[in-house]
Structure 1
Amino acid sequence: MIHPSTAPASATRRFPWLRLLAGALLAGFLLFLLGREIAWADVLRFLGQAQVGWLLLGVAAIFINSLARAQRWRLLFPREQAPPSLPQALGILLAGQLINNLLPLRGGDISRALLAGRRRGASTITAAATIGAEKLIDVSAAALLVAIVVPYFVLPAWLETNLAGVYTTIALAVLIWAALIFALPAAERYLAAWTTSGRPLAALAVRVHNLLRGLRALRQRRRLPQLLFWSLGVWGFSIAATWCVLAAFDLTASALAAALVVIIIQGGISVPVAPGHIGVFEWLAVLALRTLGFGDDVALAFALVLHAIVLLPPVLVGLPWLWRATR
């Protein structure tokens, strides 16, 4: 007998196309809502007036963002497990982003762990833990960015109501970091002793130990400055790319305003619901620019171009790399 609470999850595992269809319907609905409020002739006019030089700078910033993300990921691997080379890490990272864009199930993160682990003859569990550590860094950085940027703007009520959750996230991230710093060494010693003593569940202890190995970099003093440097690169070039696209449409905005746009978009697409975040990305970008006082027509033109630029690295680098890796 199937327990009622597990039936929906079982259905989505058996029929993954159902979630894909639901995501596509949501994307279509959001685009429909945008279309009702938009003068498409004006959108096309704004697209035609975009300054190519600024757009090329935005593309360059997005590619540098990907390089910074790949280099930071390499630093998260433990010393006893050699990290992928920078070209390999970049290919795996962008291939994972491509899969995440195609399948709204975070399948790309699983693929990254497999490609960086088992395919290289290394521990997939440790590789997966490095991805988890990466997510913790980004959540912490995003929450800190919110705390810095938000006080400079008058936000709409729907956004103000979510700030309590953001500050809760900051507190939770601090607690997790503290737990890693103080408890990780003792936990690793205990698990290492368990795995060599022939006790029951030794195999499980090995897996948990491999998982904790992938989190070590978060408490290593020598690596923390490097992780901070590359994290600044990840978020800094994401904001720079957004600012360049704003400039391409003559939307005068500060770096703080570009950061607010990044925060709203990234916060909204952190839960994957539609293939490539199509519709969701555009809706969030329009809401962000509306908050800054810009019109919906130019905001949609901005959103379409920024989304296309963000999708370039996974398509131009991730797709060829994935094709070669799976031949």
Structure 2
Amino acid sequence: MAMWRLQRQQWFRLGLGLVISLVTIYLAFKGVDLASVGQSLREASLLFVGLALGSVVINNVAKAARWKVLLGERGAPISLWQALRLHLVGQMINNLLPARVGDVSRVYLAGELGVSRSFVLGTVALEKVVDMLCYAMIFVLLVMLMPLPTWVSQPAYLMLVATGLAFVAVLAGLVAYRRGRPLPAWVLRWLPQRFQERADALLANLLASLHVLTDARGRWQILFWSTVVWVTATLTNYLVLRALDIDVPLVASLFVLFVLMAGINVPSAPGRIGLFQYLCILSLALFGIEQAPALSFGVLLHVLTFLPPIIAGLFALWLNLQGKKVRPSTVKQPETLPKQ
């Protein structure tokens, strides 16, 4: 019964996503002279398109490098090159399938390399919390730089609350990790003994992902690579705007990024086709850009940010299937928290 309900929810979300994508495709293309859009794309500056593509590459490398920092010593069996490959596979799957399935694929593939999957799951969750904190800081910066429309600010305040709760959860987990006890003994007492041991080991591995936060060097590395991730993401938007000769203030690049990241949580068809372009149109309309050039921007930005990771991810997945990877480590990782 529970499985049937889950499947029904998944089908409902997929159906809702298809409807939203169809509606946004209609709104994005309604009344637009497609010939002018095509001409704008053909006349795009190849120099700035190439620079934007380079920014996308740096962005993905920075994400992989940050994840490698989060993996720490327990993730030593995963090299930076392997972390990049797993990241690209995850990005490819996220771009093609709904519900962020690619993040789950990273956990599974990392386990094939000899790293505890529950530990990797903790690093992926921590990565999302770090991005939430960065996203919240971007919102605060935007509030200081420009007046935000209600359709942006109201959901953003809810996001701030969610970010605060996630941050508190990380702090609580860090306290538990330092104490060497995932949960008080009475919490798991109602479970059979063998399940208590498994639950305790699972929580221990999840909390072990927070070890990087206890090291000042690790914290600075996370800050550095997170800055590179978000700066290059903004830079990509700016370079695509320049490629199409769209004259808007620099803050527009940051605002577009903020809106597009918020759109990740909106159900849509795989690849966010339609929704991506419509959000670009809505964002640039605040800066006086008409629908046709804004649509050109949405199409070009979508191609540059989605297509290369998909191609690279498919290649990385092919490498994995061909077995061209380092043998899994034979060193058994501890399943309990170290004594502090």
* TM-score normalised by L of structure 1: 0.88
- SS across alignment from 1:214: helix
Cα displacement string for residues 104-149 of structure 1 (whole angstroms, at most 9, x for unaligned residues):
12211111101112x1122111111111010000011011111012
Please, what is the CA RMSD of the aligned residues? 2.5
Q: Does 1:258 align with 2:243?
A: no
* Whole-angstrom distance in 1 between the partners of 2:60 and 2:184: 35
What amino acid maps onto 1:207 in structure 2?
L
What amino acid maps onto 1:252 in structure 2?
D
In structure 2, runs of 5+ residues without a counterpart are 323-340
Q: Does the 8 A contact of 1:285 with 1:300 survive in 2? A: yes
Q: Does the 8 A contact of 1:150 with 1:260 survive in 2? A: no
What amino acid maps onto 1:46 in structure 2?
S
Q: Which of residues 6, 13, 17 is equivalent to 1:9?
A: 6
Paired position in structure 2 for 1:185: 178
Distance 1:212 1:182, change over 3 A: closer
Q: Which of residues 267, 274, 285 is equivalent to 2:262?
A: 267
* Whole-angstrom distance in 1 between the partners of 2:95 and 2:56: 16
What amino acid maps onto 1:176 in structure 2?
A
Paired position in structure 2 for 1:46: 40
Cα displacement string for residues 53-105 of structure 1 (whole angstroms, at most 9, x for unaligned residues):
10110000000000000000001114233152122111111111111122112
* Whole-angstrom distance in 2 between the partners of 1:225 and 1:312: 32
Paired position in structure 2 for 1:101: 95
Q: Which region of structure 1 is more displaced relative to structure 2, 198-207 or 249-258? A: 198-207
Paired position in structure 1 for 2:117: 124
Q: Does the 8 A contact of 1:257 with 1:292 survive in 2? A: yes
Paired position in structure 1 for 2:300: 305
Distance 1:271 1:75, change over 3 A: farther
- SS across alignment from 1:203: helix
What amino acid maps onto 1:35 in structure 2?
F
Paired position in structure 2 for 1:80: 74
Matches for 1:186-201 after TM superposition, within 5 Å:
186-188=179-181, 201=196
Cα displacement string for residues 212-248 of structure 1 (whole angstroms, at most 9, x for unaligned residues):
1123223432200010000000001001111000111
Q: Does the 8 A contact of 2:74 with 2:115 survive in 1? A: no
Q: Does the 8 A contact of 2:46 with 2:243 survive in 1? A: yes
What amino acid maps onto 1:56 in structure 2?
G
Paired position in structure 1 for 2:313: 318
Q: Which of residues 102, 124, 135 is equivalent to 2:128?
A: 135
Deviation at 1:12, TM superposition (A): 4.7
Deviation at 1:164, TM superposition (A): 2.3
Q: Does 1:231 align with 2:226?
A: yes
Cα displacement string for residues 146-194 of structure 1 (whole angstroms, at most 9, x for unaligned residues):
10123322333322332421332443344234324434312547689x9
Paired position in structure 2 for 1:290: 285
- SS across alignment from 1:37: coil
Paired position in structure 1 for 2:325: none
Q: Does the 8 A contact of 1:180 with 1:218 survive in 2? A: no
- SS across alignment from 1:252: coil
* Whole-angstrom distance in 2 between the partners of 1:33 and 1:190: 51
* Whole-angstrom distance in 1 between the partners of 2:66 and 2:184: 27
Distance 1:83 1:68, change over 3 A: farther
Matches for 1:147-226 after TM superposition, within 5 Å:
147-188=140-181, 201-226=196-221
* Whole-angstrom distance in 2 between the partners of 1:161 and 1:81: 39
* TM-score normalised by L of structure 2: 0.85
